[in-house]
Amino acid sequence: MFHLPFPLRDANAGSGSKELGNLPEWDLSDLYSGEDAPELAHDLDWLETECAAFAADYEGKLAELDAAALLTCVQRNEKISAIAGRIMSFAGLRYYQLTIDAGRAKFMSDCQEKITNFTTPLVFFTLELNRIEDDALTARFAENADLARYAPVFRRIRAMKPYQLSDELEKFLHDLGVVGDAWERLFDETIAGLTFDIDGEELNIEGTLNLLTEQDRSKREAAAHELARVFGENIKTFARVHNTAAKEKEVIDRWRKMPSAQTGRHLSNDVEPEVVEALREAVVAAYPKLSHRYYELKRKWLGLDRMQVWDRNAPLPMEDTRTIPWAQAERMVMEAYEAFDPRMGEIAAPFFSKGWIDAAVKPGKAPGAFAHPTVTEVHPYVMLNYLGKPRDVMTLAHELGHGVHQVLAAGQGEMLSSTPLTLAETASVFGEMLTFRKMLEKAETQEQRKVLLAGKVEDMINTVVRQIAFYDFECKLHAARRQGELTPENIGDLWMSVQGESLGPAFDFMEGYESFWAYIPHFVHSPFYVYAYAFGDGLVNALYSVYAEGAEGFEEKYFDMLKAGGSKHHKELLAPFGLDASDPKFWDKGLSMISDMIDELEAMEG
């Protein structure tokens, strides 16, 4: 019931090295001082007792509660969420710092199991809530303003009402969740255990993927072939994991009578299917003027007749290869944040000084980057694998944006603070855009400007085009799995069907590339998560264009938007800016920003 979000590797995050200065590490003592902290033991005991007491006090009685009693019930449920969230945040963050430590893995697993057992009796809460008549609930909101504040939570819970099963089946599924988690763990452990041999050097997956961004083309090519070889050797395991996860989802969706494999994700994202479809159609229609056009430019810059897949993330010949020390990265991001609004700088500052960031690349540390909100009464923690590349500065700006958002939204309390995925990327992508514009402003030569623009376009293509291609692949995968078991070749064919279309005619695809779906964690951990990246990028591009046009009072509206957390629907949040995500033209506004940057790059060629 209470999962620490898997640290989803942000689309453009890098990984590990030197000359970087003093890199900060987490101080997790704001959560607990250690595994054996008396406060932790106390919280686990409290949780066990309170979950049992909550069930005894309320099961079978929710419909009879008056407004004041229902408010007390909701607040008690919120406190349970906060304590469980605190425990799982501590266990999870310690694990991500050192995933190869068996003790930390066991501690996290034991905490998860205890909390699942303690909270199983609470499954009745949402089920009974959904059985209360709409009119009766509305009347209670009218009676009590404090209860009415939770209306958005009730609305989201009740969105599941048509797909709810019997109480007994819901408890069964809650308990069975641990088994689904085991397949995710198998995937994680398999990926973490892969070794790649590059010129006699043994590397893990992070190190090997990192070679795809090397200046030396022969190293990129060697890495691509080695990735294909190792994925190929393990492809049966990956196919088994995907088949099982997709089948499990299909069975649950069928029992719930969900109209599509994507429905559950759209509901949890609080977004209408037609809005996602409008985004998807706008991006697919824009492939020729975005990725196809950009990669044709890149082909010329690299001096190639044809692009190969190992050239997709190649650095540009004129690229800046300098290493940016941590202190300079901090200054660059803080300057951009403070220039937008001094308050943003004030919120960001403690991340650097109080042990809220873990930046160094270390053996056994989880890959990628994330910001974890923990619980509203503590503060977020940011994880990076900082290498000192210009792109790593962008990753810092991105994750710090998440952190600022999470701090501002914490005022909403445990149940209302977390934003759906589609809006969760807003502050991160906006923070990245502010930092990028500040770096662009400081570019001293046309060449530096070109490198920055090309890097930003490339990141946006990775975030928008690539993630929508991923979404299309998942849609095809789940549809095909409904017809029967899929062989690795079947899955490879689906993967290739979206790759050519999204990357465009500049590319050739090597043999073995058909297995590159195997390592993407989102497909296993969070089906259909990937469109949230494109949603967030498109939304921020539209938002930034309003800011760039000098809209009056933008900063104040922006802070209000972040403070709202999950208390408002995307329509309400965007209305003050004159934007509406259900309007297909909205997505074109965001995509045209990318297209304009490619126009500028093309003009530089002239």
Asked if pLDDT for residue 293 goes beyond 80, the answer is yes
What CATH number belongs to 28-180? 1.20.140.70
Asked if pLDDT for residue 180 goes beyond 60, the answer is yes
The pLDDT of residue 13: 41
pLDDT bucket at 589, cuts 50 / 70 / 90: confident
pLDDT bucket at 176, cuts 50 / 70 / 90: confident
The pLDDT of residue 551: 86
Mean pLDDT of 553-571: 93
pLDDT cut 90: percent of the chain above it:
71
Structure tokens at 486: 């899929």
Beta bridge partners, 381, equal: 372
Torsion of CA 461, 260, 240, 115, to 10 degrees: 90
Mean pLDDT of 318-330: 85
Q: 30-65 pLDDT, tens per residue?
A: 999 999 999 999 999 999 999 999 999 999 999 999
Give yes or no for a contact between 307 and 295, defined as CB atoms under 8 angstroms apart: yes
Asked if pLDDT for residue 335 goes beyond 60, the answer is yes
Give yes or no for a contact between 431 and 399, defined as CB atoms under 8 angstroms apart: no
d(CA 461, CA 594): 8
pLDDT bucket at 2, cuts 50 / 70 / 90: very low
Q: 339-369 pLDDT, tens per residue?
A: 999 999 999 999 999 999 999 988 888 888 9
pLDDT bucket at 18, cuts 50 / 70 / 90: low
d(CA 21, CA 554): 37
- CA 181 from chain center: how many Å? 18
The pLDDT of residue 7: 42
d(CA 73, CA 54): 8
The pLDDT of residue 10: 44
Q: 361-404 pLDDT, tens per residue?
A: 888 888 889 999 999 999 999 999 998 888 899 999 999 999 99
The pLDDT of residue 320: 67
Q: 277-292 pLDDT, tens per residue?
A: 999 999 999 999 999 9
- Short-list 219, 393, 384, CA closest to 320: 393
DSSP states of 273-302 as a string? HHHHHHHHHHHHHHGGGTHHHHHHHHHHHH
Asked if pLDDT for residue 476 goes beyond 90, the answer is yes
